[in-house]
Amino acid sequence: MERADILILGGGLVGSALGAALNAHGITSIIVDTADPDVILAAEHDGRASAIASAPHRMLEAIGVAARLGDAGCAIRSIRVSDGLEPGKLDFDVARDEDALGTMYENRILRRALHESAKAADKVDLRMKTRAVSVTRDAHGVTAELSDGTTVHASLLVGAEGRNSPTRDAALLRVARWQYDHAAIVTGFHHEHPHNNVAFEIFYPEGPFALLPLNDDEHGHRSAVVWTVRRDQAAGMMKVSERGVLAEAMKKTGGFLGELSRLAPRSTYPLGFHHAAKITSDRLALVGDAAHGIHPIAGQGVNVGFRDVAALVEVLVEGKRLGLDLGDAQLMARYERWRSLDTFMVSLATDGLTRLFGLPGKTAGRVRRFGLNAVDRLPMLKDAFMAEARGESGDVPRLLQGSTV
């Protein structure tokens, strides 16, 4: 198609989800992405795994993506937070009749399901291995010249290219950003004892060590690992032998998962923070990492992006019902108000946790353990944390409640 309601630049997890969600509501979109599907959908492309919180997972069900995921996900029924292996912990558990806190998916499986959903949608024109050569936004709409030689038109431009979004930068939207003195080592391993659908977040002065449950395979029980190390140690950790890494991981876990084996391929990336002061402009909206990038300490990265999708879709659907131009400034102002406070609070919380648990010393450790125990004994406060973890805090869009708009 040469004309659509929405032009989405970026077809990753969030961009593809937006296209599929718009399609479910009868809104047309053109998704433009420079990536080669044969590369990004290959098994070895991305060894990471993502915890999809229960509310964003309901959105995936409502727009038909979950059907493509089948039983590939591993439910998270409990989250245990601790300060090292010392006494003092915080447990988030769900009852048997309650939805899981989240579901773990390997990124390669999640990416394929979202890509195929967007590709199969009749109101989505997915253009891979393509880039926008130029984009113009004016009172009449959005016009983009693409590298495939075509010119496309839309009412609204959505930037979904990730943390280095050229769309955001071209719009001169200011961004607060900084780098942490940390890098994440992403891997996984098999273990002797079952994880029992528990996700573990173990905080050490050098950074958190997260164990995330995955489905068993033919080799037995397994978990994904996000291992935060000092930035200057990351290159060395990538060179340590498999035996050495597993031995160090054994120390981190204290052996509660039994013997560790079969280390998965390792990857590393630096950790940083960024937050756009505004996520809209004239006929422009930002979603996902184009708008905000946070520390993986709470596993909320892609979930915040899916919450953007749910809110933007609801704003656009209601605007269409009222007969408004989908690039109307009123609609953009509503999206801005809806998402700004939530994303700012999540960003502030993750940054604060990173700094709090990074404080060295026995006194700081005692204070942290006291705080964890205190929250564990306060049902109302604990419920508030669980609502945030599920993606159910604040004004929840209908897609996150499991229904279309």
Fill in the amino acid letter for 145.
E
pLDDT > 90? residue 78: yes
For the segment 54-67, the average pLDDT, to the nearest whole number, is 96
pLDDT at 356: 52
> Dmax of the chain from CA atoms?
63
Cα 375 to Cα 372: distance, rounded to the nearest angstrom: 5
Sequence letter at residue 95: A
Q: In the predicted model, is pLDDT for residue 102 greater than 70? A: yes
Query: Could you tell me the pLDDT band of residue 272, with boundaries at 50, 70 and 90?
Result: confident
The predicted model scores a pTM of 0.91
State the Cα–Cα distance between residues 229 and 204, nearest whole angstrom.
Answer: 10
- Tell me the pLDDT tens digit for each residue of 278-331: 999 999 999 999 998 876 655 567 999 999 999 999 999 999 999 999 999 999
Between 298 and 8, name the one with better pLDDT: 8
Residues 95, 21: Cα–Cα separation, whole Å: 30
Stretch 221-234: mean pLDDT: 93
pLDDT-derived band at 45 (thresholds 50, 70, 90) equals confident
Let me know: does 68 contact 109? Beta carbons within 8 Å: no
376-381, long-range: CB within 8 Å, 24+ apart, which pairs?
376/89, 376/90, 376/91
Residue, of 361 and 227, whose pLDDT is higher? 227
Least confident of 77-91, 100-114, 244-258, 263-277: 77-91
Q: Contact, 108 vs 41, CB < 8 A?
A: yes
Supply 93's token pair: 């558990």
Lowest-pLDDT range, 37-46, 153-162, 340-349? 340-349
Helix (H, G, I), strand (E, B) or coil at 46: coil
What pLDDT score does 361 carry? 53
DSSP E strands in 192-340: the ranges are: 198-204, 207-217, 220-230, 260-261, 267-276, 280-281, 284-286, 292-293
Q: Which two tokens stand for residue 338?
A: 């809806």
What residue has token string 């601790």?
82
Percent of the chain exceeding pLDDT 70 equals 86
